[in-house]
Structure 1
Amino acid sequence: MTDYDVFNGDADGIISLVQLRLSEPRHAELVTGRKRDIKLLDRVQATSGDRVTVLDISMRSNADDLRRILDTGAKVQYFDHHNAGDIPDHANLDATINTASEVCTAVLVDQYLGGAHRAWAVAAAYGDNFPAMAERLATGHHLPLAQLKELGELINYNGYGGSVDDLLYHPADLFRLLVKHATPMAFLTEAGEPFFALQEQYASDWAMAQASQVMDNRPKGRVLALSDTAASRRISGDYGNKLAQENPDRAHAILTAQADGYLVSIRAPINKREGADTLALQFETGGGRAAAAGINHLPDADVTRFIEAFRAAF
């Protein structure tokens, strides 16, 4: 029997798995990548009797491979908060899917585990740009919220890039570092080097982001462009998150230049977390959730259409 742990390479995916494996230790093949690598089940060649755990990747985007894996006789446990499409009615599937705008995968895992690793869930909620939810989770637990916020945001930042070569840490390696520690506070105390390295790189990338180009600027929505650099690809998601927090009634889109087009991060207004996924799905490589979504490649020829659709959406 082979176990597979399949997870998004952002804070939500990594920390969801940290919580599960702290409670349910398991030697498994790790299947992950950068945040935008969401069609991960095509890498899983499971057979009858195998166990596949899937965290924080769209069921809709992996529907064919999910069906293939289930039909081999493998058992799949699935936690996610993205647009799922049609959920298969299959005896081998145990799916916990909640697409509400105020939930993330790590919170679903936290609920499944009865809050066993609450501090990790709080860090994940911060990393996935749900500060209010993080603070609700932390109520009564006397946690160092400023530290958890920074850690969650840095883990999330590490997942962004045009390829895994842009990342400071491969998400599988970062998971292995984190899961050694019962709490995020223990990680910060016992393994400071990865945290400090992420801090330093983040500060440099953030300074670069301040020079972003404004492509469209309206009271309810703003579209910005970043240059074609590794730093831009790394900072784009967190830059969008920070802008959303600073302007809670405004939607944002960050377009990062790449060959013949752009990588797009979309953030719905914090005060109305809806519409980002619907907008992204209008484009061939789009996907995500109501509050935050993206387009893996927006051709140059579609930029005007995107801006018009962005204006209509928000």
Structure 2
Amino acid sequence: MLSADQNLITDVRGVLVGNAASPTLKSGVTVLTSDAPFTASVSVMGGAPGTRETDLLAPDKLVDRVDALVLSGGSAFGLEACGGVSEALRREGRGFQAGTMSVPIVPGAILFDLMNGGDKGWSQNPYRDLGEAAYRNAAATFDLGTAGAGYGALTGTVKGGLGSTSVRIGEITVGALVAVNPVGSVTPENSRHFWAAPFEQNGEFGALGPDPVAGRSGAPFGHKISPLEQKNTTIAIVATDAKLTKAECYRLSVAAHDGIARAIVPAHTPFDGDLVFAASTGHFDLTEDRATALAHIGAVAATCLARAIARGVYSAQAEAGDLLPTWSETSAT
């Protein structure tokens, strides 16, 4: 298996991604959409999630297609980004038809970046406009690192960021998109080697390889912010152009959580709202036993997500007022 063309989730046929952010706010929004509604589900394993319309994505619920998925900073305020995306879609006549109205289906999730040094003294919630701008920016290419929902993200020891990767399995592509903002760390303590290093492809996050020092632990709660004040979260989307049902998307979202556990220590804590959406654009039928194929796609998605987490942190850029250094600024061995 090799990384697909751009090594981005947009290598999945039909997927587009847009970012918008405010340097003053130190926060932003990322939107995944497509030119047609797509199947999606979600799995939440963190202890402090913030979500919108995720109940719709349970396999037994009526709605079986969505128009966009939103990842946002801003904690509960960031859920307003979904409203901006929804309004932009409505103007285009997209959404669930209810009489003469189009009702776009736009699930979303947020991360906590309210204590990252940005100016949060707004007079009007900025996330609705950021959501619409991110949707308008949706394209086949997009920035990583200090961008979109990862703009103000922090990990336990260094700046977080927005990451993405992809893999092709025959004609099928699997990709991951993630805003990395965990309480935990993406490297062992006093090390620059990523936990995700065994899965790296083509030097996508530095090619340092696994940590040569055996037995090093993670460095949880390394922020300059007290652990009692931390509300973090890693929020992600995995996608495939294989044709999956809503129930199969749910199983894919569950399997993909392994990628968070491989790349972040500790993961799924009470302080994190760790969440993975899974999306299927449905361009290719599965040609083998469905359970076997789904197991294979799930394993690949987990690896993609682990790689995307490291790539997001690796790609972060330093900016004025940062509370933590970028990975590239660290000098640990």
Question: TM-score scaled to structure 1, two decimals?
Answer: 0.25
Greater percentage in helix: 1
Higher RCO (CA 8 Å, separation ≥ 6 residues): 2
Greater percentage in strand: 2
Question: TM-score scaled to structure 2, two decimals?
Answer: 0.24
